[in-house]
Every structure is written in C-alpha cells, then in structure tokens.
Chain A
Amino acid sequence: MVVRERTTRVDLAVELCGLQLHTPLIPASGTLAKEALGEVEGVYGAMLPKTTTPRPRAGNPPPRIAETPAGMVNSIGLQNPGVEQFLKDLDAFDVGVPLFISVAGDTVDEFVALCERISSDERISGIELNLSCPNVEHGGLTFCAGPASVEEVVAACRAVVREKPISAKLTNEGAVENARAAEAAGADALTVINTVPALTIDARARKVLVRGGLSGPAIKPIALRAVYEVSRAVNVPILGSGGVASGQDVAEFMLAGATAVQIGTTSFVREPHTILEEFAGFLRDTGMSAAELIGALR
C-alpha cells in the first residue's frame, strides 16, 4: 500500500515468503473476530484468524481473562468450532489479502491431518503452526518445549505441505534454539512470540483468578528481544508478535528483524488503523520504505 502522507509517498509493502503484503501488519491469531473485520478494512497485509483444531473445542470455563498493568492474562483454551465448520465460515476472512491459517493439534498426527485438510484450499496462502499447545503424547509439555519436539512437528507438517509457506509460532522460552530447529525442519518463517506464562490472584477471595498467558504492551520488550535474537540465529523471515501498540513499536520490531508484525491485544483498546498511520508517519519522517527497515539497525 502506498499512503500519500502530505506530499511524501510512503511505501508500506513487504514481501513475506513470496507473498506480497501491502502493509506489514497482520492480526495476531485469536484476537480478531469476523464481527470486527469492518473496523480494520485495508489495514492488514495478510489475514490470520483464530487457531483451528481438528474437532470443536468448548474452551475453558470463565473467568478467562484478567486485566494486568499494560496488558491482560488470558486462558481461553482455544475455543473454536473445529476445522470443518471453520472452513465453512472462512470466506469472511478472505478479503483479498493473503490468508494464513493457524492450526493446533493434540498430537503430531493431528497437526499433519489438519495441514493436509487445509493445504489444498485455494483461499489459503499459508499456515501458522501454533506450537504453544500441549502435546498429549509428551505428558502435556507444549510442542515448543524443546528443539526435538519442534523439529518433529515442523518436519511432519512440511512433508505434507509442499506449496504453501509454513510459519512455526514459538514462545519466548527457548526461542533461539527452537527457531533453529524449526528452520532446519523446513519452516519458511517463524512467528515470535506467543503469550508469556502468567498468573493472577484475587487476594480477597484467596483464589487463583486466571492462570494463562500474558499479552499486551507489558510483554513488548520481551518479544522484541526474542525477535532480535532469533533474527540473528536464522535466515527465514520473522513475524513479530507481542505487545505491539503503536507505529513506533512496528518500526522497532522491523528494525529488530521482523518482516511482518502482528497486532493482538492492543486492537482491543486501539484502532489498528491508527497504528498503521503512525507507522506510515514514521517511514515518512525517516524517508525509508517498510522493506528497507527490516533488520536495519545501525
């Protein structure tokens, strides 16, 4: 997208795994409902709906969210209608930009089956593997608990998805090692990071309120560091995620090495459009294009 900001033209386009994105912004999985798509028209260079699983998942009982300073802790539990219903509803997200699908399974076989099920769908441009869900065959450790597990699941998915890019979504813990393993197993990109394990307590009730993942501006410096380190360890493009709240944040993630940047929790309290405008303003001020910004730290 070329935004005419006063008199200067600003080039927001980036290339991600051979796909042309008219802006480097992508919604973070699980943070943009189809009901809210009208509010973000034209903002995102690619779409990415909530993670889908082989069967419907009810998700966790409430309370599922708790506010924290500059963020929130969530424990949604991957509530989703299952892949078959998901595909029936998918047209809403097919808005003329590349469409990534986030998948998660309980086992490697389930990841593979999901990849096979969706990879021939013509609406879909790429797949994001949500590796922060528990692997029931490994005592509930997540798929990104270590490089061996990352390598196994990414290689298995790669074997059945030949034509479309795969991004492995990693958590902060072990990000660099896991990133190397994912790249070695054939991942075309890496999404860095997911939420950070966190807990809130209601002291008066002496109860755990929410045990889940922290997101929002509170985790931005953590995510930024992970993107920075991973980008130095691998050659594949990075989709930065974690606490992005402003155009300046987008610039920081791209300078740290991200090719595209995901907006999650902040979209609940700010219009993503504003973030894009701020980012365009940053580019205008610096005279750089979005693509030139990637990894361009001095």
Chain B
Amino acid sequence: MRFYPVDIEERRELGGYTLLSYRWPDGSVQPGQFVMARVAGYPVTLDPFLARPFSFYDHDGEVASLLFEVRGRGTALLDRAPERIEVSAPLGHGFDIGANGTPAALLGGGIGVAPLKILSRHLTARNVRHDIFLGFAEARFAAVAAEFPGSKVATVDGSEGTRGTVLDAVPDLDRYGAVYACGPNPMLAAVKRVAGEDSVCQLSVEERMGCGNGSCNGCVVPVRDGGYVRSCIEGPVFRAEVLAW
C-alpha cells in the first residue's frame, strides 16, 4: 500500500471527536470513501503496525478532513500527531447518490456521523432534499451536531435531544425514498429492518482492516447470496439488501 505524508492544516476538537484536515488536491473524493491513516510507518511504528481506516468527513477539492474518536492506540497517536500524518489515496466504494428517491434520510450513530458531512454537501449540490439524524452515547459527543444545522439528535443517556438511539430521533423512516446510514454494525442492521421497503437503503459498514486495498481478505461482511465480500473494495458502503444481516 502506498502512503503519502501530509501536513496537518487544522486540528479541532468537535465535541468528543477530533477533526484533522490536510491538503488533498489530487482528484475527487466520493462520499463514503475512506483512507488508511497512521502517524508513521515501518520502521518508526512496528506497534501499532497497521494503518487505520477513516471515512472522509469532508473534501472541498483542496482540503480533506477526517473526524475521529479516540478508541485505542492508533487513534490516540493520531490525536497527538505533531505536524504530519500518512494517508493512503481515497479507497473503496462510497454512497451511490445518483439514482435515489427523495427525500433522503442521513443517519449517523456515534462516530458514524463522519461521512455524513461530505454526503450532505454532495446531496445539497444536487438539490436533493435531506434530513440528518444523529445518535450519540452522551452529550459530550453530540456537540458535533452543531456542524449539521437542522439535524435531529438522540442521546442514549437522554442528556441531549431525544432519549434513545438515532432511530428514536427519526419519526417515520419509511417515509424517506433514500436512507444513508453509518454507525456500529448492530445499528445498521436495525436501520435495515426499519427502512421502508421501497426506499434505497445504503449502509457504510465498519470492519477491522488489514490492508485497505483488497489484498488480505480480512475486512469481510457476509452477503445474502452466501459467502463474504471485502468491505474495503466492494464496500464500505453496501445496499442494505445485499448484506446478510
């Protein structure tokens, strides 16, 4: 895998998350695509050894940004990264925003909010009407909702917005012609169950990744037709009906 050293242009706390921006003027980024990122590679970091996948939070043609939650060592190192990190080129299949019904519902669970910013930007550019629903564990994380004007929020502890999960913030999901969701896999399975039968439902899944370029077969999800497919190549965004969840 090829990594590119990039200078951090901006680092900002967004609620419980960190936003990192870097210049990426080369080519376009599709909503839902991701990068493999790390603070440095071999031999500087033999532990952690692998890079980590992150969705694009935004890309305006010049500057790309990632939004991340510190979970373990990889993200802790990125959080503290001095001036530079290393990223791959944009990877994977993102959301298909071409042939969808309206209006659209965008659902983010926790850090699953990340790809909704760039998705919303692209939908707005196409004049697709859309509502944004965000679910968080607690109010500390919900602060990021300020970046999504008009979004509806739920928190599990009820400290902000509706008490419950993101689905509790959506009154009538089956009213929407298109559903886009990103979050923990159990949330995505729930969205799939609740989404209207006629709506186009797309889910951005989260699996552990080794390589990010299709080589290791580590990142698979089960599919309806039997067997597994790689979420870094065929995904990370899948049509809900394709997944065997």
Which A residues lie at the B interface, using CB under 8 A?
30-36, 39, 50, 56, 58-59, 61-72, 74, 76, 79, 216-217, 245-246, 265-271
- For B48, the chain A residues whose CB sits under 8 A away are 67
* Measured CA separation A71–B42 after assembly (Å): 11
- Majority SS at the chain A contact face: loop
Q: Which residue of the partner chain, among B42, B47, B212, B215, contacts A245 with CB atoms under 8 Å?
A: B42
Q: Is the CB of B210 within 8 A of A271?
A: no
Main SS class of interface, B: loop
Closest to B207 in A: A62
Residues in chain B near residue A266, CB distance under 8 A: 42
- Give per-residue flags for B1-18: 1 if the beta carbon is below 8 A from chain A beta carbons, else 0: 111000000000000000
B residues at A contact (CB < 8 Å)? 1-3, 38, 41-43, 46-51, 207-222, 226-228, 233
Assembly CA distance A64 to B231 (angstroms): 13
Q: Is the CB of A65 within 8 A of B216?
A: yes
Given contacts A69-B46, A246-B43, A269-B50, contact A32 B215 (CB under 8 A): yes
Least CB distance from A41 to B in Å reads 12
Of the candidates B49, B215, B220, the one whose C-beta lies within 8 Å of that of A67 is B49
Question: Given A70-B47, A268-B50, A36–B215 Cβ distance below 8 Å?
Answer: yes
Return the contact of B213 from the options A35, A61, A69 (Cβ within 8 A).
A35
Is there an interface contact between B221 and A65, defined as CB atoms closer than 8 Å? no
CB <8 Å contact, A39 and B2? yes
What is the chain B residue whose CB lies nearest that of A34? Answer: B214
Q: Is the CB of A36 within 8 A of B41?
A: no
What are 10 A-B contacts with C-beta separation under 8 Å? Answer: A30-B216, A31-B216, A33-B213, A36-B214, A50-B217, A62-B218, A69-B46, A265-B210, A267-B215, A268-B212
Q: How far is the CB of B58 from chain A (nearest CB, A)?
A: 26
Given the complex of chains A and B, what is the CA–CA distance between A216 and B211 in angstroms? 13
Assembled-state Cα–Cα distance A269/B43 (Å): 10
Contact call A270/B42, Cβ cutoff below 8 A: yes
Q: Which residue of B lies closest to A209 (CB)?
A: B208
Q: Which B residue sits closest to A63, measured CB to CB?
A: B208
Interface centre among A31, A67, A76 (most CB of B within 10 A): A67
Task: Report, nearest first, the 6 A-B pairs whose CB atoms are least far apart.
Answer: A65-B218, A33-B214, A268-B211, A69-B47, A35-B214, A70-B46
Taking a contact as CB atoms closer than 8 A, the residue among A50, A59, A61, A65 that contacts B210 in the complex is A65
The answer to whether A79 touches B220, judged by C-beta atoms less than 8 angstroms apart, is yes
Inter-subunit contact B217/A76 (CB<8 Å): yes
Given contact pairs A39-B2, A217-B46, A269 touches B221 in the complex (Cβ within 8 A): no
Given A35-B213, A72-B50, A245-B42: A61 touches B222 (CB 8 Å cut-off):
yes
Residue in B closest to A36 when the chains form the complex, CB atoms = B213
Query: A56 to B228, alpha carbons, bound, how many Å?
Result: 12
**Identity of the chain A residue whose Cβ is nearest the Cβ of B38 in the assembled complex:** A269
Closest A residue by C-beta to B226: A58
A65 to B49, CA, bound (A): 13
For A270, what are the chain B residues with a Cβ–Cβ distance below 8 Å? 1, 41-42
